[in-house]
Amino acid sequence: MKILITGGCGFIGSNFIRYILRNHPEYNLINLDALTYAGNLENLRDIEGDDRYTFIKGRIEDQRLVREIINEVDSVVHFAAESHVDRSIMNVQPFIETNIIGTTNLLEAIRDSSVKRYIHISTDEVYGSLGESGRFTEETPLAPNSPYAASKASADLIVRAYYETYDIPAIIVRPSNNYGPYQFPEKFIPLMITNIIEDRPIPLYGEGRNVRDWLFVEDNCRAIDLILHNGRIGEVYNVGGNSEKRNIDIARAVLRIMGKGEEMITFVKDRPGHDYRYALDSSKLERETGWRPSTEISEGLKRTVDWYRENEWWWRPLKDRLIRESRGFWER
């Protein structure tokens, strides 16, 4: 099989590429990535020179380029996206261009191709916010509350429309909050870990009571692999980690692992439209494929802390650049 992976130099995309090459040695992969701020060739340094892997620098908004590549592949796994809520609040335009227009461009190219599977990677944030109880199912109405979530929900609806109208072989995947190696250091868990290494405070929005369902990135890659091969065309699949935790409890767990006290926590003004709680019901995926998350949150956090401690060469240049370019908004 030959697969186009968009956004393969990002966090989840690079982990997925590595996972596929390890578990399907007969496959060939094309990675299309624009190398914007979160795309990093260093994420895949270890597979440079592998003749099963081809990197192409380019944007999914480039119609000519996308059509050329689509005609070479059997399947598409679409990770490429602007994905940081804080950045979407400051400037929504890149989210519209990449997440909506770029996705539509991919679908248009697939209409005229022989692609057999299009796997669209979405997010649990399209569902909006939960109260104290319940979980999102695949039938939960979409109710996004941030510009980022709205752009992803829009893309999901466009994918659905192309499936219904043009019979595009699409499947939508909605994972919960991923964490693990190679995650960009502006995100919650790597920001905490790298700040602690640098003996800097770790910022928490509000009182740290917001709840997220945490999913180790390797478990997510395994789920996407199963959906790529066994998922039903036209369906939506939730991928949850069964690890609901308040942000403050994640912070405390990371501090314990790293031998630091809670005095390092700094509470900051909450961001606009901050969803209280996300939780996913993954029973459909479990029922159809047998998938279940295999990494407990305690183990996953320990592995993630160890990785960032051992790979300062990777994250320090990124964090230095963020400090220079963003004037610290990402660490508020």
Q: What is the pLDDT of residue 326?
A: 61
Within-domain flag for 128: yes
What tokens does 90 get? 């400051």
Catalytic residue among 53, 118, 148, 182: 148
> Strand, helix or coil at 244?
strand
50 shares a domain with 25: yes
Examine the residue annotation and report whether 205 is marked as an active-site residue of this protein. Answer: no
Q: Catalytic residue, from 33, 82, 118, 125: name it.
A: 125
Confidence (pLDDT) at 87: 84
Q: Please check whether residues 109 and 219 belong to one and the same domain.
A: yes
Chain centroid to Cα 55, Å, comes to 19
Q: Are residues 141 and 29 in the same domain?
A: yes
DSSP letter at 54? E
Same domain? For 78 and 164 the reply is yes
DSSP 143-174: ---SHHHHHHHHHHHHHHHHHHHH---EEEEE
CATH for 222: 3.40.50.720
Asked whether residue 206 is domain-assigned, the answer is yes
Q: Identify the burial level of 31 via C-beta atoms within 10 angstroms of its C-beta, where 0-12 means exposed, 13-18 middle and 19 or more buried.
A: buried
H or E segment at 23?
A: helix 11-23
* Whole-number pLDDT of residue 177: 95
Largest CA distance in the chain: 58
What contacts 24+ positions apart, CB below 8 Å, involve 298-303?
298/253, 300/179, 300/180, 300/214, 300/216, 300/243, 301/179, 301/189, 301/250, 301/253, 301/254, 301/257, 302/257, 303/180, 303/181, 303/216
279, part of any domain: no
Q: Are 33 and 7 in contact (CB under 8 A)?
A: yes
Sorted by sequence, the CB contacts under 8 Å of residue 113 that are 6+ apart come out as: 70, 71
332 residues of the chain, pLDDT tens digit each: 999 999 999 999 999 999 999 999 999 999 999 998 778 999 999 999 999 999 999 999 999 999 999 999 999 999 999 877 878 888 899 899 999 999 999 999 999 999 999 999 999 999 999 988 899 999 999 999 999 999 999 999 999 999 999 999 999 999 999 999 999 998 999 999 999 999 999 999 988 999 999 999 999 999 999 999 999 999 999 999 999 999 999 999 999 999 999 999 999 988 787 888 989 999 999 999 999 999 999 999 999 999 999 999 999 999 987 777 765 444 43
Is residue 11 one of the residues assigned to a domain? yes
> Same domain, yes or no, for 304 and 192?
yes
Question: Does residue 196 share a domain with residue 162?
Answer: no
287 is a domain residue: no
Residue 36 CA to its chain's centroid (Å): 15
**Alpha-carbon distance 239 to 245, whole Å?**
16
Which two structure tokens, joined as six digits, stand for 50?
A: 């592998």
SS3 314: helix
Residue 310 catalytic?
no
177-179 sheet: strands from edge to edge: 177-179, 211-216, 244-246
Does the residue 6 lie in any domain?
yes
Q: Are residues 146 and 197 part of one domain?
A: no
Count of domains in the chain? 2
For tokens 């909506």, the residue is 100
- Which of 33, 82, 124, 213 is catalytic? The answer is 124
108 catalytically annotated: no
Query: CATH number, domain at 201?
Result: 3.90.25.10
Residues 43, 150, single domain; the answer is: yes
- Domain holding 196, by residue range, is 188-211+246-274+296-331
Residues 71 and 151 in one domain: yes
N-term to C-term CA, the chain: 44
112: in domain: yes
Q: What pTM was estimated for this model as a whole?
A: 0.94
Q: Are residues 162 and 63 in the same domain?
A: yes
193 and 48 within one domain: no
Are 193 and 315 in a shared domain? yes
Does residue 289 belong to any structural domain of this protein?
no
